[in-house]
Amino acid sequence: MDSFIEVPPDSDFPLENLPWGVFEADGPNGPTTHVGVALGDHAISVTALQAAGYLADLPGAPPGVFSHGRLNEFMGAGRPAWVAARQQLQRLLGAGEGALRDDESLRRRAIFKQADVVMRLPCAVGDYTDFYTSRQHATNAGAMFRGLENALHPNWLHLPVGYHGRASSIVPSGVDVRRPWGQVMPPSGGSPAFAPSGQVDFELEVAAVIGPGNPLGEPIPVSRAWERVFGLVLLNDWSARDIQKWEYVPLGPFNGKNWVTQISPWVVTLEALEAAGARCAPPPQTDPAVLPYLRDDAPYTYDVDLAVDVTPAGSAVATTLTRSNLRHLYWTFPQMIAHHTAGGCNLRPGDLIGSGTISGDEPGSRGCLLELTWAGRDELELRYEPDLAAGGAAPLAAAAGLGSHGAAGVEGKGAGEGAAGGRRDGVVMRKYLQDGDRVTLRGWCGRRGGAGGAPRWVGFGACSGALLPSLGR
């Protein structure tokens, strides 16, 4: 599909994608908030298009559904409205359609360069639940602390384990985050101390954004759960491992997790993933067989490649520390939703369902530093080249927020490799994140260009943030 707006061949956002988001742009009377879609390097204001008379009669959607500065109302309208809006936008933005292309005044009001806008959260997130659904991640984490024979708790293969996260501290990509304080137990034991976390980690996740919810007391069947998913985003569940380790018994994570969670700002729809040919079968669940309420007669997930790049403080280059894939998850999003609502819990438009850390079978596919360094036993090599434009000098003389977050990084070494310690020219070592380090999550599926009839490349954009120093106390 071709658009009258130029789309770079390596863009995450071709006309087949059109992910939804919310952005702020300068207007004649100051900044204005727009609901829109991404196309190439541009952000298209659907708010302006609807105000001009387009997308006026979407099935199930109220009038002016894009005028609220958030996507919740549109998310709640359901798939017929989503598909109708997508089809109308693809026609309006297509190469052969002149209604928008030839209307210079409307183009000025509706088409913005992404570099000139500020991305906001795509919706008001009322509730956020994070699951623990990667068998490889759960096995690795359990083996570190309980031994391989007791790695998985007895319930893990019978239900998708989850906990309620903190919605108020969810931020979009581009927001830098601050190292948290909390109670930590010194390595030598004794009494806990209140101090900045020394073990800040990332977690590579994908989250489902809920569309139509369910009434209180009425579970969502697993076979109908995908119908409730508006789309997917990348999610970085920033974690303070030392705080988490001391506090998590018996009720699970609290301050080690609640200080910030970061998501990519553009929501990729299931229709876009289908257009990229990303549907695939999930891992088998035969030993043991799952209970009937979690059993889907035609289960599927999506083949979405994932990567994490880390740019050391003061460096101009990133290192790709891990590559994984959404298909590695043992439990699917429909199973998470069916289990979440099994007792009658109601979900609402804009709720966020996190997958948990997504790890694969190989060391280079582990989805967090806890796994990549095996709880700090090993060190990772990160490429370092001074970012002279940002004032970079020595590898560890970092200022908050320095670094670049390009589309891809140089491949790094996983756990068990490059663990000699120290540093040398062009390389810095890490066990956990240091102040000024930038973490960038990426996701994509399909093929660039869609040559030869192949599905078109569909990407998620970046989920990126740098670690700022803790506040003085």
Q: Hey, what are 13's tokens?
A: 């956002």
Consult the annotation and say whether 286 binds a ligand. no
**What number of H helices and E strands is found in the chain?**
9, 27
Query: Is 237 assigned to a binding site?
Result: yes
435 labelled as ligand-binding? no
Task: Please state, in angstroms and rounded to a whole number, the distance separating the CA atoms of residues 158 and 123.
Answer: 32
The residues facing 44 across adjacent strands are: 37, 111
- Judge whether 385 is annotated as a binding position: no
Structure tokens at 118: 């500020």
Nearest to 308 by CA among 297, 296, 293, 318: 318
The torsion region of residue 450 among left (phi > 0), alpha (psi -120 to 50) and beta comes to left
296 is in an annotated binding site: no
137 is annotated as an active-site residue: yes
Residue 108 marked ligand-binding: no
Pairwise CA distance, residues 355 & 205, whole Å: 6
Amino acid at 169: S
Query: Does 437 appear as a known binding residue?
Result: no
In the set 34, 42, 137, 328, the catalytic residue is 137
Asked, as a colleague might, if the bond just before 250 is cis with ω within 30 of 0, I would say: yes
Q: Which two tokens stand for residue 214?
A: 């369910």
Q: Is 130 annotated as a binding residue?
A: yes
CA distance 330 to 149: 19
Distance CA 273, CA 294 (A): 23
148 Cα distance to chain centroid? 29
Residue 248 marked in a binding site? yes
Placement of tokens 């030598």 in the chain: 188
Q: Is 357 annotated as a binding residue?
A: yes
User: Does 132 appear as a known binding residue?
Assistant: yes
Note whether 378 and 419 are within 8 A (CB). Answer: yes
Where does 176-228 show beta strands of DSSP type E?
A: 177-178, 181-184, 193-196, 200-201, 204-210
The binding site for Ca(2+) comprises 130, 203, 205, 237
The binding site for Mg(2+) comprises 237, 257, 261
The binding site comprises 130, 132, 146, 203, 205, 237, 244, 248, 257, 261, 357
The binding site for substrate comprises 132, 146, 244, 248, 357
Catalytic residue numbers read: 137
